[in-house]
Chains A and B, each alone.
Chain A
Amino acid sequence: QSVVTQPPSASGTPGQRVTISCSGSNSNIGSNTVNWYRQFPGTAPKLLIYSSNQRPSGVPDRFSGSKSGTSASLAISGLQSEDEADYYCSAWDDTLRGPVFGGGTKLTVL
């Protein structure tokens, strides 16, 4: 059971905008930035958003992140079939003194 909570699943149709939420506590999201990772089956996670709202080079601007208090969200606009994957949020936890990950959200493109 993760200390950071994500919905296990999300879905949308092509072209739609979807959001994935991530809820934590004062020791993690409340006091540190949030990162998002995307993982396709059988492959390693890939950094999608860092510092809550920054995109690494090469990540399309269809992906955006935000944070407020102890919650964060990832938004994907112009949903495409290739966006179907597992998405994980993560934040440093001051109590653990290491990163904590959400349980992951499986995004399905209908």
Chain B
Amino acid sequence: EVQLVESGGGLVQPGGSLKLSCAASGFAFSGFAIHWVRQASGKGLEWVGRIRSKANGYTTAFPASVKGRFAISRDDSKNTAYLQMNSLKTEDTALYYCTRLFGGDAFDIWGQGTMVSVSS
């Protein structure tokens, strides 16, 4: 079965750090870009960042809201991508999804999400 499974969420204090994992199975993980998308409770979807495949240089990109605080990496030997979140703010509280980029710009496979709560 083609799937993505996130883990690593939890409660962290403002200014703290957390590292999320996204484990893939059922497809050739190394050939796909992986993106992270978050959703605050009762709110819409917000793109958090992406990492491209090895063929595209493992390049990463982030929106202004997390740039400089978040980093994305991947270990193709483990079929896993990671989202390192530093200097966390209360507004980073959300359910974090990893998702696979399909074709040019569509996300066809989503994980179930992992919850991150930033609170003192």
A110 proximal to B (CB < 8 A): no
Chain B contributes a number of interface residues (CB within 8 A of A) equal to 23
Chain A contributes a number of interface residues (CB within 8 A of B) equal to 26
Considering the chains assembled together, what is the distance between the CA atoms of A100 and B46 in angstroms? 7
B103 proximal to A (CB < 8 A): yes
Q: CB-defined interface of A34-60 with B at 8 Å, one 1/0 digit per residue?
A: 010100000111110011000010000
Q: Which of B43-67 contact A (CB under 8 A)?
A: 44-47, 49-50, 61-63
Residues A45 and B45 in contact, CB atoms below 8 Å apart = yes
Residues on the A chain within 8 Å of B110, using CB: 44-46
Residues A102 and B105 in contact, CB atoms below 8 Å apart = no
Residues B112 and A35 in contact, CB atoms below 8 Å apart = no
Residues A47 and B47 in contact, CB atoms below 8 Å apart = no
Residues on the A chain within 8 Å of B108, using CB: 47, 50, 56
Q: Specify the main secondary structure of chain B where it touches its partner.
A: strand
B97 proximal to A (CB < 8 A): yes
Residues B104 and A47 in contact, CB atoms below 8 Å apart = no
Considering the chains assembled together, what is the distance between the CA atoms of A97 and B61 in angstroms? 8
Q: CB-defined interface of B88-108 with A at 8 Å, one 1/0 digit per residue?
A: 000000000100001111111
Residues B104 and A101 in contact, CB atoms below 8 Å apart = no
Considering the chains assembled together, what is the distance between the CA atoms of A46 and B107 in angstroms? 8
Cβ-defined partner of A98 (8 Å) among B63, B97, B113 = B63
Residues B44 and A100 in contact, CB atoms below 8 Å apart = no
Chain B residue at smallest Cβ distance from A48 = B106
Considering the chains assembled together, what is the distance between the CA atoms of A33 and B105 in angstroms? 8
B111 proximal to A (CB < 8 A): yes
Chain B residue at smallest Cβ distance from A103 = B44
Residues on the B chain within 8 Å of A91, using CB: 105
**Distance (Å) between the CB of A89 and the closest chain B CB?**
10
Residues B112 and A44 in contact, CB atoms below 8 Å apart = yes
User: Can you sample 16 A-B contacts with CB below 8 Å?
Assistant: A2-B44, A32-B105, A33-B104, A35-B106, A37-B107, A47-B107, A50-B106, A51-B103, A51-B104, A88-B44, A90-B107, A96-B47, A99-B47, A101-B45, A101-B46, A104-B45
Top-8 shortest CB links A-B? A50-B106, A44-B110, A101-B45, A92-B105, A35-B106, A104-B44, A103-B44, A98-B47
